[in-house]
Amino acid sequence: MKEMIKLGLILFLITAIAAGILSISNELTAPIIEEVEAAAARGADVAGELIVGGTSFEDIELALLEEIKEANDKVIDVVKVIGSNGESLGYGIRTLSTIKGYGGDIELFVGIKETGEIGGIRILSLQETPGLGTNVENASFKNQFIGVVPSKLFEVVKVASSEEHEIATVAGATISSLSFTSSVNNAMMVFDSFLSEDSSGDLVQEPEDIDLEQQVVPGSEKWVAADDDLINKIADQNNQFVDLQLAYNSSDEVMAYVITTWSVIEGYYGHIELMVGVDLEGAVTGMVVLTIDETPGLGTNVERSDFQEQFIGKPNILEFQVKGSANNDDEIAAISGATVSSRSFTSAINNALEIFNEIINQ
């Protein structure tokens, strides 16, 4: 018995010492790691990526940097981009997104020339869904910003437009597209407000962001994660379930449930993931597509408001049915040429209603 106690004490001491060494090591190495990462983001190749011809960076005045960061808490750093002859070519603005992506904030290093033209964009931090949200890294998406001298902030649209300030979303990754674009817009706001010598002042009027919370549950004041026991209970009973949050009104009362779920029926290229609001009467309040990989211009039309509005505000519907045309409250008119996608989308709504009716509301 004494030997067992002695062995336990020895193991405890070894573990405590190892933990202490690790903690001290982390404290000592963290600043070094930060310096290395900062240096890597300031290499000559990065300068050339932000603005063609850039070879190095130069710090702006500390007082100006502090003023910018005090006014804009998403800004991490602002530097000048310097050419081979020592001339200033513009600025590199390192910023987080103002709209969170599916995996959190997206961090970009945005190059803006003295003329206000977007010179280049380097992604520094991205945690989006591989093969979907990570497609914002593709040149076909990023190049929509490059070379533009914007007169207004960029807006994300579903379909490519001739308007240079409109950015076509990555198919199946609307939230990631919005997040990426908000980071570029934030850099532009900083340039227009603090760095441009001939700012018109027009750019600072930011277009209305798509408020995902208001789109899913209009009138909600805050969302709170549901109790872990309830989440685990739903997950045990429903394979398509992803997450549950509670939406509160201004009186701090629960007004709806926000259910994230995959479709039960596969779409043309896979399952569709939705975030669905369901009020206390069991009526759908709104929805946002989180993941979709359907045919652009056909299956992706399930994201259109005229299709989605068919589900909203109808209490006591246990299951929606997809039809060629809708004649009753529980019938949904399919997207022309995209019946499979319409059924997949509808099955996700139905799954959210099933979760509410059979588990949450019991």
- pLDDT per residue as tens digits for the range 109-119: 999 999 999 99
- Considering the domain boundaries, does residue 29 fall inside one? no
| Chain length of the chain | 362
> Of 189, 210, 231, which residue constitutes the final position of a domain?
210
Instruction: Please provide residue 198's backbone torsions phi and psi, each rounded to the nearest 5 degrees.
Output: -130, 45
pLDDT at 4: 59
Which pLDDT band holds residue 344 (cuts at 50, 70, 90)? very high
Q: What are the tens digits of pLDDT across the range 52-87?
A: 999 999 999 999 999 999 988 899 999 999 999 999
- CB within 8 Å of 299: residues ≥ 6 apart: 267, 268, 269, 292, 335, 338, 340, 341
Same domain for 49 and 195, yes or no, is yes
- Considering the domain boundaries, does residue 10 fall inside one? no
Same domain for 253 and 283, yes or no, is yes
Which pLDDT band holds residue 205 (cuts at 50, 70, 90)? very low
User: From the CB of residue 132, how many other CB atoms can be counted at a distance below 10 Å?
Assistant: 20
Q: List residues bridging with 288 in a β-sheet.
A: 275
Give 162: exposed, middle or buried? Use CB within 10 Å, 0-12, 13-18, 19+. exposed
Across the chain, what does the average pLDDT equal?
Answer: 86
- Considering the domain boundaries, does residue 12 fall inside one? no
Distance CA(209)–CA(189), nearest Å, equals: 14
pLDDT at 49: 93
Q: How far is CA 121 from CA 49, 99, 197, in A?
A: 7, 17, 22
Distance CA(331)–CA(176), nearest Å, equals: 32
**237 pLDDT exceeds 70?**
yes
Which pLDDT band holds residue 27 (cuts at 50, 70, 90)? low
Same domain for 341 and 299, yes or no, is yes
Same domain for 180 and 266, yes or no, is no
Q: How far is CA 39 from CA 35, 56, 89, 203, 266, in A?
A: 6, 11, 20, 31, 46
pLDDT at 183: 94
User: From the CB of residue 156, how many other CB atoms can be counted at a distance below 10 Å?
Assistant: 21
Which pLDDT band holds residue 36 (cuts at 50, 70, 90)? very low
Cβ proximity of 246 and 226 under 8 Å:
yes
pLDDT at 207: 43
- Considering the domain boundaries, does residue 33 fall inside one? no
Same domain for 116 and 221, yes or no, is no
pLDDT at 33: 45
- Considering the domain boundaries, does residue 192 fall inside one? yes
Distance CA(184)–CA(116), nearest Å, equals: 12
pLDDT at 24: 59
Same domain for 47 and 191, yes or no, is yes
> Of 173, 195, 210, which residue constitutes the final position of a domain?
210
CA 235 to chain centre: 24
pLDDT greater at residue 102 or residue 83:
83
Domain that holds residue 143: 43-210
pLDDT greater at residue 262 or residue 304:
262
Same domain for 176 and 220, yes or no, is no
Same domain for 203 and 227, yes or no, is no
Structure tokens at 293: 């990989």
**6 pLDDT exceeds 70?**
no
Lowest-pLDDT range, 40-49, 113-122, 141-150, 320-329? Answer: 40-49
CA 152 to chain centre: 21
Taking the alpha carbons at both ends of the chain, their separation in whole angstroms is 53
Distance CA(228)–CA(248), nearest Å, equals: 18
| Mean pLDDT of the 285-309 span | 87
- Considering the domain boundaries, does residue 142 fall inside one? yes
Same domain for 246 and 321, yes or no, is yes
pLDDT at 233: 95
pLDDT greater at residue 31 or residue 181:
181
User: From the CB of residue 244, how many other CB atoms can be counted at a distance below 10 Å?
Assistant: 23
pLDDT greater at residue 356 or residue 39:
356
pTM confidence score: 0.57
Do β-strands 88-96 and 107-113 pair in parallel, antiparallel, or remain unpaired? antiparallel
- Considering the domain boundaries, does residue 24 fall inside one? no
> Of 159, 183, 210, which residue constitutes the final position of a domain?
210
Q: What are the tens digits of pLDDT across the range 257-273?
A: 999 999 999 998 889 99
Tally of structural domains, the chain: 2
pLDDT greater at residue 203 or residue 279:
279
**250 pLDDT exceeds 80?**
yes
Same domain for 48 and 138, yes or no, is yes
**30 pLDDT exceeds 70?**
no
**348 pLDDT exceeds 50?**
yes
Instruction: Please provide residue 190's backbone torsions phi and psi, each rounded to the nearest 5 degrees.
Output: -65, -45
- Considering the domain boundaries, does residue 317 fall inside one? yes
Same domain for 178 and 98, yes or no, is yes
pLDDT at 28: 56
Same domain for 253 and 292, yes or no, is yes
